[in-house]
Amino acid sequence: MGRIDRLLADMSLGEKIGQLNMAASYRAVTGPAAPDGLEEGVRSGRVGSVLNLWGSAEVHALQRLALEESRLRIPLLVGLDAMHGHRTIFPIPLAEACLFDPDTWRETARTTAAEAAADGVNLTFAPMVDVARDPRWGRIAESPGEDPWVASEFAVAKTRGFQGSDLRAAGSVAATTKHLGAYGAVTAGREYASVDVSERTLHEVHLPAFAAAVAAGTAAIMPAFVEIAGVPVTANGALLRDWLRGRCAFDGVVISDYNAIAELRAHGVAADTAEAAALALRAGIDIDMASETYVRGLPAALQRGLVGQAELEASVLRVLRLKERLGLLDDPYGRGTAAGAAMTARPLAREVARRAVVLLTQRRKVLPISADTRHIAVIGPLGSAPREMLGPWAAAGRPEETVTTLEGLRTALPHCRIEFSPGVATAAVDPHGIPAAIELCRTAQLVVLCVGEDASMSGEGGSRAELGLPGCQRALAEAVLDVGKPVIVLLSSGRPLALPWLFERADAVLATWFLGSEAGHAIADVLTGEFNPSGRLPVTWPRHVGQAPIFYGQRPSGRPAKAGERLSSTYLDVPATPQFPFGHGLSSSSFTLCDLRCAPHVLRATDSIEVSVGVRNDSASGGEATLFLFSSDPLASISRPLLELKAVRRIALAAGARGSVGWHLPVAALAFPGAQLAPVLEPGRFGIHVGQSADREQLLSCEIELTA
């Protein structure tokens, strides 16, 4: 009998249930229940893991209670939402997705893991890989965007980064991939609302990233709070048992979201705590996060025959195996003993942040800022807002260590007079500060207008019905634009903002998202020309909130949109096209694509397609082009999306230089879920398309034929 089996055999019922109970700590509040009786729960064996705790002294003190004062001396799992950094905060995931660079995604996760582990954390509730196509939803900020291929690549890179090559290593943490089950498709973008998607959409769009994470070895999975077509994911055995553990062969731990098991009663599928506990355990939930439903409900559920001992013990074994994989049973104090390396991560944070900036428009040549500029007015509530630069889920990030836009510009331009006025507060309706801000603009050569959202307006609970500038910021922006000076707009936000009036008037607009600890230096690098912007949108940017949800991978309509034609798939009052397509992003360089080649033209299912395209830098400055490889299947047994992303490549070219980019694409990548949702690869003609965005009018295309 092995060590884990001996532990299980020695456990009382209460201790078994305790291993499935994750209690909330005091350091961060991420749900409705306040922590209560944590230390006594650890001593008594009623708590097997804890969340929202970090700091080596605090973690080790709690571990000592488990190891010295509990009967079985089983160490704790210590979990935290290290979504985009720990002490060093990187750009929010939506911004980091703008790099389209899995190597960098893995590197930032590796750095985050090292910092979190040095603070005693051994489990992170990340990556979040929900496909998000509705910018009203606040948690789009935490997602990698709208595309299932990108989400899958993100899931793999982050999982491998967090966990490293050895989960027992002192600098590794267990990844918890979340939130399984179409959370990004909540009704009207409203947090915690119902989800109603087809089985096809679920399997084509929302599940691939989780399958990829499982294949990459993710230690844990977290289901979504929500219900899909009437079945809460927390109690969805078909999804958690049959698909996740069955088809995907996942053998790790499933952790509920915060209080989600207790909320089965509010969903209307459980009459009492015992029924809620039984539904979740039978579906495959191993750890109950923060609700204590297992502690209070499982004894009665077992007594009433709602669930069996075998199901309980299977979950306990999975939790113990994770603790063993993390090395906790051999060295429970192994994490939290090394000094943190937060300051050494700052160069990486700066590099990633500047690569995440997306230049949306440049109507006049105002970038980079001219060396002759001697007086700049930084205007807007986000010009000097260190807390907001960190964004939501900033973990152990410290605002006092965060570089603001104002600080970054003053450091980069020491001989330039840079004055600042917030003008208005981010969400307030009091415009009294606008006149003072305008006076600064009148005397300045250039205005840098910093507007957008507070960090609290994105993330969990951050749904917005409007996608405009909050508070009086539009009045401030229009007053600044009316002065007539060159204006560069920096949009800080966790989502695309629908601002057509601003894009039409400002000289340049950059999406600067929430860029993290090095935000100000990164922004200054881009504005001064130290770095040529290279970020590309991982989401489609709407003109109006009424277009949401919006995404490029739509299926063909029998009456596709035609401008001015009423009886087509369009609007009467807004163009059907987005403000900016998926993949959009400008730079100081411009690139031309040519000579797309696909070979061979006739293939079998076991073959691969060799795709190449020429790239020319037509500008006087070196830069990086991002190229997207799409496929299309114009005639199939199931109507297919107009475009499906299959690969991305980047190429750096000096001014006037030429180069080429190639892909080796297996024909198997053209398969899709058939009528029974199993993968099928049908003979016929396929389109291969390459471009710098999902704008179909700008793509180069060729055709291949798959034979039977």
Catalytic, out of 257, 288, 507, 525: 257
Nearest Cα residue to 27 out of 71, 61, 58: 58
What lies within 8 Å, CB to CB, of 701 at 6+ separation is 596, 687, 688, 689, 690
pLDDT on residue 338: 60
Q: pLDDT tens across 191-235, in order? A: 999 999 999 999 999 999 999 999 999 999 999 999 999 999 999
- Report whether pLDDT(410) > 70: yes
* 3-state SS, one letter per residue, for 307-357: CCHHHHHHHHHHHHHHHHHCCCCCCCCCCCCCCCCCHHHHHHHHHHHHHHC
Instruction: Please give the C-alpha separations between residue 354 and each of 260, 398, 510, 689, in angstroms, as whole numbers.
Output: 37, 20, 11, 29
How far apart are alpha carbons 54 and 27 in whole angstroms? 8
Strand segments (E) across 19-76: 21-24, 49-51
Q: In what order do the strands lie in the sheet with 288-289?
A: 253-254, 220-223, 174-180, 123-124, 77-80, 49-51, 21-24, 288-289
Nearest Cα residue to 402 out of 455, 466, 457, 465: 455
How far apart are alpha carbons 336 and 159 in whole angstroms? 21
pLDDT on residue 265: 98
> Which residue did the predictor score with more confidence, 34 or 181?
181
How far apart are alpha carbons 493 and 511 in whole angstroms? 8
How far apart are alpha carbons 363 and 508 in whole angstroms? 6
Residue with tokens 């300045």: 444
- Report whether pLDDT(708) > 80: yes
SS3 410: helix
Q: Following CA atoms 128, 133, 135, 140 in sequence, which dihedral angle do they give, to the nearest 10 degrees?
A: 0
pLDDT on residue 30: 62
Cβ–Cβ under 8 Å, residues 468 and 497 = yes
Q: Percent of the chain beyond pLDDT 90? A: 96
pLDDT on residue 570: 95
* Alpha-helical segments (H) within 544-664: none
SS3 183: helix
Structural domain boundaries of the chain? 3-325, 347-547, 591-706
pLDDT on residue 1: 73
Sorting pLDDT into bands at 50, 70 and 90, what band is 339?
low
pLDDT on residue 337: 74
- Report whether pLDDT(28) > 70: no
pLDDT on residue 341: 54
What lies within 8 Å, CB to CB, of 650 at 6+ separation is 100, 101, 534, 624, 625, 626, 627
Q: Are strands 672-673 and 658-666 parallel, antiparallel or unpaired?
A: unpaired
pLDDT on residue 493: 98
What's the half-sphere exposure (Cβ side, CA atoms, 13 Å) at 237? 7
CATH architecture observed for domain 3-325:
Alpha-Beta Barrel (3.20)
Classified by CATH at the fold level, domain 591-706 comes out as Immunoglobulin-like (2.60.40)
* Alpha-helical segments (H) within 65-168: 93-96, 102-118, 148-163
Sorting pLDDT into bands at 50, 70 and 90, what band is 29?
low
pLDDT on residue 314: 98
- Report whether pLDDT(342) > 70: no
Please confirm, yes or no, whether 257 is among the known catalytic residues.
Answer: yes
Sorting pLDDT into bands at 50, 70 and 90, what band is 149?
very high
pLDDT on residue 343: 58
- Report whether pLDDT(33) > 90: no
Classified by CATH at the fold level, domain 347-547 comes out as Rossmann fold (3.40.50)
What lies within 8 Å, CB to CB, of 330 at 6+ separation is none
Q: pLDDT tens across 105-137, in order? A: 999 999 999 999 999 999 999 999 999 999 999
Burial of 433 (0-12, 13-18, 19+ CB in 10 A): middle
Cβ–Cβ under 8 Å, residues 42 and 332 = no
- Write down the mean pLDDT value for the chain: 96
Q: Which two tokens stand for residue 77?
A: 């799992």
DSSP structure class, residue 541? B
What lies within 8 Å, CB to CB, of 300 at 6+ separation is 273, 274
How far apart are alpha carbons 492 and 404 in whole angstroms? 12
Q: Are strands 591-599 and 608-617 parallel, antiparallel or unpaired?
A: antiparallel
pLDDT on residue 37: 86
Q: pLDDT tens across 152-172, in order? A: 999 999 999 999 999 999 999
Return the exposure string of 459-492: e unless at least 16 CB atoms fall within 10 Å of the residue's CB, then b: bbebbbeebebbbbbbebbebbbebebbbbbbbb
Q: Which two tokens stand for residue 52?
A: 């929202």
Residue with tokens 């209307």: 268
* Alpha-helical segments (H) within 69-147: 93-96, 102-118
pLDDT on residue 263: 98
Instruction: Please give the C-alpha separations between residue 652 and each of 97, 560, 583, 616, in angstroms, as whole numbers.
Output: 19, 37, 17, 10
Q: pLDDT tens across 574-612, in order? A: 999 999 999 999 999 999 999 999 999 999 999 999 999
What lies within 8 Å, CB to CB, of 31 at 6+ separation is 24, 258, 259, 289, 290
